[in-house]
Amino acid sequence: ILKNFWPLPSKVMLRRGSPLWVSGIVAAVETLMGYAPKTGTAALFAAASTKFYNVTSTGTVGAAVVSSLTNARWQHVNVSNSGGNFLMAVNGADKLRGWDGSSWWTDGDGAHDITGLDTATAIGVTLFKRRVWFVKSSSASAYYLPVDAIAGAAVELDLGPLFKRGGSLQAIANWSLDAGIGIDDYAAFISSQGEVALYKGSDPASATTWALVGVFYIGAPLGRRCAAPLGGDVMLICRDGLVPLSKALMSSRVNSQIALTDKILNTISEKVSLYGGNFGWQPILYPGQDMIILNVPIATGGQVQYAMNTITGAWAQFTGWPANCFEVFGNELYFGANGNVFKAFSGYADNGTAIQAEALQAFSYFGGASALKYFTMARPILATTEDVNLLYGLNVDLDTTSQPDGTPTTTSINAGEWGSGLWGSATWGGGVVQQLDWQTMTGIGYSAAAHIKATSATGQVEWSSTDYGFQRGGVL
């Protein structure tokens, strides 16, 4: 069990909090869109109900920057050309909206007209080989613009004959054999039934520069935000879990071990079965913490996240983040909630609320699976700051249901006072101090694991290892 603890290569730590970033939005924030120009001012926008808001700066939100929209479920992409840097967004109901760094425009305004496709029917937008591509709602066709263009004539690419299982086009993703952009990049067209048509090349109008590589089956994707970049790879959340496209295309769908979520397969399978039709499924890479986050929309305000350390492959569950959507902006992670935007993995509390965490180590037989043992105490090796409440317990024989009980232990650090503390031995306030105290943790069984619950709104907990005290018995 690892709830609200974040696994690092050598320890687990209480996850960071989520301070309020922007308040005052009168509806649920269902999309966050980051604008990241090569030069100029970056911006972060939130879509809620029928409006866009500028949420670049923290505080109370200002007036809406775009109004009279149909819904707040937008897909977006950043595009750069000789004319500047642009943010383009579609939602399947309104005409395409675009931001040029100073003002918003609408497809059809006379200066940014797109023909050949009604962009009010576009549910996805992406960039591949310097072309903007669109996914049309309830269709198996993709549409693309001329090279480096943000307007003009859109050309249809009908993928229907390739999808043997039927369905419509759900998303388009960039997939590469390496982590860069080059001739080995592929366009992956993902259908609602889980088929992927893979193309290579740059100009779909030319048979010499555009070719079908193959059609693969990977399982039905969940929602329009099913795909996200992972270096040069693509991670896709589908009914088989969160899978990297590179491995899915080289394996059979029945091989669940290729999934990034293989270690939490049963949990993800249950969540997909129960909540697969809900809006809000989204994988996202947060490089600042070597973290992949999978947002699971259990209920409005009751979402949970499963987070994987990309170095170790270890997973944890995060609760207390009511996220409808995530976005990485300026190397920081943000999420949109009902009426607010929060900065994620920052500070030590969730908007002033203490973080409640739980960790149960893997069970060990301590070198003798057939010998009964009487466990008397354990010493979790912790590093904590002040004002952290800890509750200790010991689970035996693979029982994950028993909970730690008793009186919480509050960490107290005797900080040195300036002018009186002995230099070189006094503990100065605000630091993380190692805790090496033995705890009474009893139980009788063949295997055991330490179990800790932690609560804090101001401090940190890091758990690196555990020593156990026990008496070995005979074989029973």
Beta bridge partners of 45: 33, 54
Query: What pLDDT does residue 424 have?
Result: 59
pLDDT for the residue 187: 95
What is the spatial distance between Cα 448 and Cα 471, in angstroms, rounded to a whole number? 13
Q: Is the confidence at residue 84, as pLDDT, over 90?
A: yes
CA 402 to CA 379: how far, in whole Å? 19
Question: How many Å apart are CA 388 and CA 459, to the nearest integer?
Answer: 6
pLDDT tens figures, 321-353: 999 999 999 999 999 999 999 999 999 999 999
Mean pLDDT of 59-85: 97
pLDDT at 301: 84
What is the model's pLDDT at position 405?
Answer: 82
Distance CA 148, CA 459 (A): 49
Cα–Cα distances in Å, from 152 out to 110, 122, 148, 245?
Answer: 11, 15, 11, 32
Q: What is the pLDDT of residue 433?
A: 86
Query: Are 379 and 466 spatial neighbours (Cβ–Cβ below 8 Å)?
Result: yes
Q: What is the pLDDT of residue 313?
A: 95
210, β-bridge pairs:
201
Mean pLDDT, rounded, for 89-96: 98
Q: Beta 448-456 vs 355-360: how paired, if at all? A: antiparallel
Percent of the chain with pLDDT over 70: 92
User: Once rounded to an integer, what is the mean pLDDT over residues 276-283?
Assistant: 96
Confidence of residue 407 (pLDDT cuts 50, 70, 90): confident
CA atoms within 13 A on the CB side of 236: 31
Instruction: Give the mean model confidence (pLDDT) for residues 83-90.
Output: 97
Three-state secondary structure call for residue 13:
strand
Question: Structure tokens of 172?
Answer: 């388009």
Phi, psi angles (nearest 5°) of residue 464? -110, -30
DSSP class of 257: G
Express each pLDDT in 125-173 by its tens digit.
999 999 999 999 999 999 999 999 999 999 999 999 999 999 999 999 9
Residues 6+ apart with CB under 8 A from 86: 78, 79, 80, 98, 99, 100, 101, 150
For residue 398, how many C-alpha atoms fall within 13 Å in the half-sphere facing its CB?
2
Strands 152-153 and 155-158: unpaired
In the predicted structure, residue 181 carries a pLDDT above the cut 60: no
- pTM summary value: 0.92
Question: Could you read off the pLDDT of 353-367 as tens digits, one per residue?
Answer: 999 999 999 999 999
